[in-house]
Amino acid sequence: MSQAPRKSRVFSGVQPSGSLHIGNYVGALTQWRDILDSHDCIFCVVDLHALTVPENVDPKALRAKSRELAALYMACGIDPERATIFLQSEVTAHAELAWVLTCTTPLSWLHKMTQFKSKAAANEAVGSGLLCYPVLQAADILLYDTDVVPVGDDQVQHIELARNIASRFNHLFGETFVLPKHKVRQAGARIMGLDEPTAKMSKSASGTGHAIYLLDSPKRVKKAIMRAKTDLGCEFRFDEASPGVRNLITIYEVLSGESREVISERYEGRGYGYLKKDLVDVVEASLAPIRAAYAGYTDDPAELDRVLDAGADRARGVAQSVLSRAMRNAGLGRR
Ligand code: ATP
Ligand code: LTN
């Protein structure tokens, strides 16, 4: 009997730091949701990575954030029946492989990472975990023989590094790891801040008008959109528009499914206020079901635990076999 071909393996994750915003939703989670059936999907709450964020030195808060994020994955449509969802720290192979890869990754590769450079520059006391952050990320990905890593634009450099780390290990110790590729959306791979549309919308940025968070109230969503920075003109053609207007059209486009051309034509000759007003409705139509589903999951913590226990069990099985392969090839242990 011929076997069905193995589905392509997907792995991705988000840190339980700050609150999930529509940049994360559009750039990462909508991609995850769209490939649930076509791929073998593994999605992780990367709590070990969150320890690199200084504000997370608060055990109770970190634990609560991890649960919140797992519930949000599901509320965003990541169906645990069709994907493995788990907490990174509950599968110890991540930290174990990270050490092995730390030893084979040249320091100069890590110093080139733009995320490290910007985060190190913005913080006075930086733990060495921040420098090794992309090595742990590589371990996450390589442990599952991952083919595809769906992320936002800002993570592409880290996925390319993971690929280089895998290639180097394979070169040193023989064929061990699958070489992963990133997957980014054509539109919406980098949603910009509403208050400053030349900078990426980010969980760690402060300021009330910066982001739309998935659990924001309708009132807050409206306020953030109506206050979003645009310009003094009335240019809606995407390629000619200012960064703030392009950002609003992009959010509209990806959440409504309408093309940017149709959207631009609809508002041509009118003020930006009309676009913003309709965008409030478009965003609300996406967020209302997420809020409702999230409330359902938080009302049932036992169900969330069941999902995360089952996810960690499955993840452990896959990860352990790849970790053993890597350790054996590197000469670690007796056999
Ligand atoms: P931080 O500011 O703490 O680095 P973040 O907002 O960048 O947080 P991450 O946890 O780093 O969020 O990202 C989770 C996922 O969301 C990643 O795949 C990342 O590429 C994606 N992502 C983050 N910000 C955006 C954005 N503004 N637009 C599109 N995708 C994004
Ligand atoms: N660095 C990522 C989070 C992350 C991740 C991963 C993403 C950790 N491990 C593995 C994809 C695959 C970020 O979004 N900040």
Ligand number, closest to the Cα atom of 192: 1
Contacts of 40 (CB under 8 A, 6+ apart): 6, 7, 8, 9, 10
Residue 69 predicted with pLDDT over 90: yes
Q: Return mean pLDDT, the chain.
A: 95
Task: Give the E-state strand segments of the chain in sequence order.
Answer: 9-14, 40-45, 83-87, 148-150, 181-183
Number of folded domains that form the chain = 2
Residue 11 CB less than 6 A away from ligand 2: yes
Mutate to test the pocket of ligand 2, among 158, 165, 184 (most ligand atoms within 8 A of CB): 158
Residue 151 CB less than 6 A away from ligand 2: yes
**Taking a C-beta distance cutoff of 8 angstroms, is the pair 262, 268 a contact?**
no
Contacts of 103 (CB under 8 A, 6+ apart): none
pLDDT tens column, 30-40: 999 999 999 99
Residue 185 CA neighbour count, 13 Å, CB half: 24
CATH number at residue 238: 1.10.240.10
Q: Report d(CA 318, CA 9) in Å as an integer.
A: 11
pLDDT tens column, 176-189: 999 999 999 999 99
User: Could you tell me if 228 and 305 lie in one domain?
Assistant: no
pLDDT category at 262 given cuts 50, 70, 90 is very high
Ligand 1 centroid to Cα of residue 266, in Å, is: 30
Residue 105 CB less than 6 A away from ligand 2: no
Catalytic residues: 119, 200, 203
User: Could you tell me if 53 and 115 lie in one domain?
Assistant: yes
pLDDT category at 68 given cuts 50, 70, 90 is very high
Residue 55 predicted with pLDDT over 80: no
Residue 137: name the closest of 193, 95, 82 by CA.
95
Q: Is 200 helix (H, G, I), strand (E, B) or coil?
A: strand
What residues are paired with 87 via a beta bridge?
45
Atom of ligand 2 nearest to the CA of 140: 10
User: Could you tell me if 145 and 222 lie in one domain?
Assistant: no
User: Could you tell me if 239 and 311 lie in one domain?
Assistant: no
- Assess if residue 119 is contained within a domain: yes
Ligand number, closest to the Cα atom of 119: 1
What residues are paired with 12 via a beta bridge?
43
User: Could you tell me if 183 and 54 lie in one domain?
Assistant: yes
* Mean pLDDT in residue range 202-209: 82
Q: Report d(CA 202, CA 18) in Å as an integer.
A: 9
pLDDT tens column, 135-188: 999 999 999 999 999 999 999 999 999 999 999 999 999 999 999 999 999 999
> How many residues are present in the chain?
335
User: Could you tell me if 47 and 183 lie in one domain?
Assistant: yes
**Comparing 122 with 273, which gets the higher pLDDT?**
273
User: Could you tell me if 134 and 230 lie in one domain?
Assistant: no
**Taking a C-beta distance cutoff of 8 angstroms, is the pair 56, 282 a contact?**
no
Q: Report d(CA 315, CA 320) in Å as an integer.
A: 8
Ligand 1 centroid to Cα of residue 327, in Å, is: 32
Atom of ligand 2 nearest to the CA of 137: 9
Place of tokens 């000469």: 331
User: Could you tell me if 319 and 289 lie in one domain?
Assistant: no
User: Could you tell me if 173 and 257 lie in one domain?
Assistant: no
* Mean pLDDT in residue range 60-76: 96
pLDDT category at 101 given cuts 50, 70, 90 is very high
User: Could you tell me if 147 and 281 lie in one domain?
Assistant: no
CATH number at residue 28: 3.40.50.620
Residue 3 predicted with pLDDT over 80: no
In which domain, by residue range, is 162 found? Answer: 9-189+301-329
What per-residue confidence (pLDDT) applies to 331? 98
Residue 2 predicted with pLDDT over 70: no
Ligand number, closest to the Cα atom of 24: 1
| Single pTM value for the model | 0.96
Residue 1 predicted with pLDDT over 80: no
- Assess if residue 4 is contained within a domain: no
Mutate to test the pocket of ligand 1, among 12, 15, 19, 24 (most ligand atoms within 8 A of CB): 24
End-to-end CA distance of the chain: 34
The sheet carrying 9-14 orders its strands as 83-87, 40-45, 9-14, 148-150, 181-183
Ligand 2 centroid to Cα of residue 318, in Å, is: 19
User: Could you tell me if 60 and 170 lie in one domain?
Assistant: yes
